[in-house]
Amino acid sequence: MKRPKSRKFNLRKRHSEVEEIELLESWIASGKPDAGSNPLSLPPPPKNSRIGKLSDGSFSPYSSAVKFIQLPLSKKTKDGLAAAGYSKMTDIQRASLPHSLCGRDILGAAKTGSGKTLAFIVPVLEKLFRARWGSEDGVGCIIISPTRELGGQLFDVLKSVGRYHGFSAGLLIGGRKDVDTEKERVNNLNILVCTPGRLLHHMDETPNFDCPQLQVLVLDEADRILDEGFKKQVNAIISQLPKYRQTFLFSATQTKSVQDLARLSLKDPEYISVDEESETATPSRLKQTAIVVPLDQKLDMLWSFIKTHLKSRILVFLSSCKQVKFVFEAFKKLRPGIPLKCLHGRMKQDKRTGIYSQFCEQHSVLFCTDVAARGLDFNQAVDWVVQADCPDDVASYIHRVGRTARYCSGGNSVLFVTPSETKMIDKLKEKKIPIECVKVKAKLLQPVSGLMAALLAKYPNLQQLAQRAFITYLRSVHKQRDKEVFDVSQLPIDEYSASLGLPMTPKVRFLKQKTKDKKVSEQMVIVPISAVESPSNPQQGSMVPGSSKEDDSKLEEGFLAEREPLLVGEENVTNTKDSMPVTRVLKKKKLKINVHRPVGTRVVFDEEGNTLPPLAKLADTKMDADSVKLDKDKVSQRYAELREAMKVADKEDKALAKERLKEKRRKEKMKRKRSRDEDKEESGLSEEDQSDMDNEANTGNSNKKQKVYFDSDNEDDGRDKIKMKDKITLREQEELALKLLSSMHS
């Protein structure tokens, strides 16, 4: 009874779904916003106006919708949104959803925490719903996130809002061990949320994995995904995706690079930037300050900050994993009175997963690298974002501070800059970031440097961490691209080392190299163009002190970009003619293969180890050495002698071989005779046959045919004679005859 009922029910459901889709499509088509228009500029619909199909058969306008329910969305999505607590749309959602729902590509830019996630999750669900996507249709949507944590978070939002849809979704991120299980299932998933590396891994290694039907591609934090770090992976991914699809790119710092857009083959994308008119590039609820801190006081400042904000959730950004490890371990030992946590890329994924939710649960400090800078939503729980190390650039700053003051909540941020990095503050102000510089009273600082030295003495591991942190910090400053802000030579290195508690300043190879490089450049610098360019002067390189191969290789190691300006005073000119004009620097010599060089002569060693040309002994020594000619008669005579000698040797070898063969046969015969005497068996069997016989005897088969061996021998006279190998004695012949007779009788 149940079955027909449920079939009927399913049929009805399918019918209603088809009807719903038709209705939605008519609604979407009826009120499409003009391409390039900004829905935010339209007046909102009147309150309590009817939604959807109206009595006259027309549809309510949705371009100016303020609430999700005013949009042409499926019931399942609307219910999911309501269940997750979303009703009113944020600006980026209002501005982008009317465009994305009618199938347009979107380039969305909006401040951090402004709700970009729903701006792409909702149209993804709708697109697949209206396409009646099912499990057998395979991958319909790929959402790419730059970090694993953000991937996890997007997946959670997808699950929450899409709870009433029947799509299957999977989270594919690195660091998870269950790749094989993933491989089995990935072909049946409809929506993939993934990091670029893991997606490519599946594209390369999972059998039958491809997405020929892909409907939507989403890049969250698009500018990050499209930057150099992911370039190769993303290009490889895109090359495997169908071009006919809808594409959404979202970020707070959106890419406008034509090249990037061309890579993604966007079709007339809608560029939606809700904050272009805004006075600030960061949320207005965010209070931002900057403090100029000498590098050697940074730890004191950070410690003091934490000690004075024990009832907060503080996110501390540092420049490298090693910095994070050291500061976390050291502060943990100093017990500040607030739980400390850390998050960086070198941690195992099990540990990484869930750190951010733990962080949200209680007042604590989370030390992290930029792995936590993008997209993460700490449930509006972060009170303070402290950038203890200066960010790489303005975009990085915006994303870091964006971890606080999300959605409608407020937040605070503080940026530490060393005196040589103050240019960063100007750059931030130029990009519409309202940041206020504050001074800290030195007497309020709680110095920890003295304590650090004691800690390091007590814990050797911590000392190692401190050393590594010291070196990686300097390296990270040295590697920074923005040389206007970052200058490693301006840093008080010894003082910084002491502030970490290190007893001695560790040697920093690249810094030493820099000074060495300076010296080298001072010595080498000026060489006249004519001297450098003259091909007739191959020794030119050695004229310049310090231009040896070794120095070159060191220079290459990392500081080439950092070389000091190379022009120096004329007193440093070496080996140049006074009259020569001051010109340019020697470039690194290129190794060239000269194809016209003379071909080398072959050296042959004779038996005594003398180097003589072949047959030189036979050369006519009277002739001059250059034109060594061979006496033909002597050569042929020599060959005749050699042939004779070889013939003699050959005869001797054959005689010897014959002798050996005879001896072998004699031994075999003796052996056979012995065994015949023992077993009273027939004669003429080799050892192998004997063993075969033994085997057969064991199996009870002794009725064996006699084998007769022939041998080709005695080739000396050129004719092969065939002869009986073994002469049969008279007695043996009699025995044989008797046997034959008896077998005939029986």
- Residue 309 touches which member of ligand ADP, Mg ion, none, C-beta under 5-8 Å by kind: none
Q: Burial-class residue 404 by CB neighbours within 10 Å (0-12, 13-18, 19+).
A: buried
300 binds, among Mg ion, ligand ADP, none (CB under 5 to 8 A by kind): none
Please give the helix or strand (H or E) that residue 691 lies within, else none.
helix 687-698
Query: What element of type H or E holds 3?
Result: helix 2-30
For residue 344, state whether it binds ligand ADP (rule: CB under 6 A): no
* Residue 57 C-beta-side C-alpha neighbours within 13 Å: 0
Q: Which is closer to Mg ion, CB of 116 or CB of 344?
A: 116
Asked if residue 221 lies in contact with residue 145, where contact means CB atoms within 8 angstroms, the answer is yes
- The nearest distance, CB 98 to Mg ion, in angstroms, is 20
Alpha helices in 140-292 (DSSP H): 148-161, 179-186, 196-205, 222-225, 231-239, 258-263
Q: Given CA atoms 694, 699, 702, 707 in this order, what sign does their dihedral have?
A: negative
CB of 152 to ligand ADP, least distance (A): 13
77 lines the binding site for ligand ADP (CB under 6 A): no
Quote the DSSP letter at residue 142.
E
Residue of 86, 303, 331, 384 that binds ligand ADP (CB under 6 A): 86
Beta strand 270-273 with 246-251 is: unpaired
Partner that binds at residue 420, options Mg ion, ligand ADP, none, CB closer than 5 to 8 Å by kind: none
Helix or strand run (H / E) with residue 347: none
Residue 145 lies near ligand ADP (rule: CB under 6 A): no
From 90-98, 229-237, 370-378, 667-675, give the range in contact with Mg ion by CB under 5 A: 370-378
Give the CA-trace dihedral at 420, 425, 431, 436, to 10 degrees. 180
Site membership for ligand ADP, residue 90 (CB under 6 A): yes
> Using the rule CB under 6 A, is 407 a contact of ligand ADP?
yes
Partner that binds at residue 77, options Mg ion, ligand ADP, none, CB closer than 5 to 8 Å by kind: none
Tokens of 13: 């459901």
Least distance CB 404 / ligand ADP (angstroms)? 11
Indicate whether 91 belongs to the interface with ligand ADP (CB under 6 A): no
Q: Six-digit token pair at 515?
A: 């000074």
124 binds, among ligand ADP, Mg ion, none (CB under 5 to 8 A by kind): none
Q: Could you tell which of ligand ADP, Mg ion, none binds residue 165, using a CB distance below 5 to 8 A set by kind?
A: none
Using the minimum distance from each CB to ligand ADP, give the nearer residue, 89 or 241: 89
How many CA atoms within 13 Å lie on the side-chain side of 354? 4
312 binds ligand ADP, rule: CB under 6 A: no
Q: Which residue's structure tokens are 């939606």?
A: 272
Dihedral of the alpha carbons of 33, 37, 39, 42, in degrees to the nearest 10: -100
82-90, 417-425, 509-517, 578-586 -> range binding ligand ADP (CB under 6 A): 82-90
Residue 29 CA, distance from chain mean position: 44
Q: Are the beta carbons of 292 and 59 closer than 8 angstroms?
A: no
Smallest distance from ligand ADP to CB 451, Å: 38
**CA 539 to chain CA centroid, nearest Å:** 44
Q: Which of 45, 151, 375, 684 touches Mg ion (CB under 5 A)?
A: 375
Q: Residues 109 to 138: which contact ligand ADP by CB under 6 A?
A: 110, 112-118
CB of 251 vs ligand ADP, minimal distance in Å: 9
Where does this chain touch ligand ADP (CB under 6 A) — which range of 49-57, 108-116, 202-210, 288-296?
A: 108-116
Q: Cα(268)–Cα(265) distance, rounded to whole angstroms? A: 9
Closest CB 150 distance from Mg ion, rounded Å: 7
In the complex, minimum distance from the CB of residue 221 to Mg ion, in angstroms, rounded to a whole number? 7
Choose from Mg ion, ligand ADP, none: what does 89 bind? Cβ within 5-8 Å by kind. Answer: ligand ADP
Q: Which of 98, 44, 112 is nearest to 272 (CA)?
A: 98
SS (H, E, C) 225-249: HCCHHHHHHHHHHHHCCCCCCEEEE
Give 407 or 709: the residue with its C-beta nearer to ligand ADP. Answer: 407
89 touches ligand ADP by CB under 6 A: yes
Q: Binders of ligand ADP: how many residues, by CB under 6 A? A: 18
- When binding is defined by CB under 6 A, the residue of 224, 406, 478, 672 that contacts ligand ADP is 406
Residue (117 or 476) nearer to ligand ADP, CB: 117
Q: Which lies closer to Mg ion via its Cβ, residue 33 or residue 375? A: 375
Q: Is 673 helix (H, G, I), strand (E, B) or coil?
A: helix
Position 331 contacts ligand ADP (CB under 6 A)? no
Task: State in angstroms the smallest separation of the CB of 36 from Mg ion.
Answer: 24
At residue 556, φ and ψ (nearest 5 deg) are: -65, -25
**Planar angle of CA 636, 642, 646, nearest 5 degrees:** 145
Question: Which stretches does DSSP call E strand in 544-610?
Answer: 584-585
Task: Give least dist CB 429 to ligand ADP, A.
Answer: 23
Helix axes 460-479, 321-334, angle to 10 degrees: 140
Q: Is 116 in the site for Mg ion (CB under 5 A)?
A: yes
- 345-404 residues in contact with ligand ADP (CB under 6 A) are 375, 377, 380
**Given the complex with ligand ADP, which of 161 and 526 has the nearer CB atom?**
161
* Of 326-334, 374-382, 402-410, 531-539: span binding Mg ion (CB under 5 A): 374-382
- C-beta separation of 496 from 295 below 8 A: yes
Supply the minimum distance, in Å, between the C-beta of residue 136 and ligand ADP.
Answer: 31
Look at residue 152 and give the partner it binds from Mg ion, ligand ADP, none, a contact being a CB closer than 5 to 8 Å depending on partner kind. none
The answer to whether 493 and 474 are in contact (CB under 8 A) is: yes
- Helix residue ranges, H only, 525-615: 529-533, 540-543, 549-556
Which C-beta is closer to ligand ADP: that of 344 or that of 403?
Answer: 403
CB 13 within 8 A of CB 5: no
Is 233 or 254 the residue whose CB approaches ligand ADP more closely?
254
123 vs 684, beta carbon nearer ligand ADP: 123
The interface region with Mg ion, picked from 209-217, 373-381, 435-443, 652-660 by CB under 5 A, is 373-381
Q: Which residues contact 411 (CB under 8 A, 6 or more apart)?
A: 283, 285, 286, 287, 382, 383, 384, 385, 401, 404, 405
* CA atoms in the 13 A half-sphere facing the CB of 309: 23
| Residues that bind ligand ADP in the complex, under the rule CB under 6 A | 86, 88-90, 93, 110, 112-118, 375, 377, 380, 406-407
| Residues that bind Mg ion in the complex, under the rule CB under 5 A | 116, 375
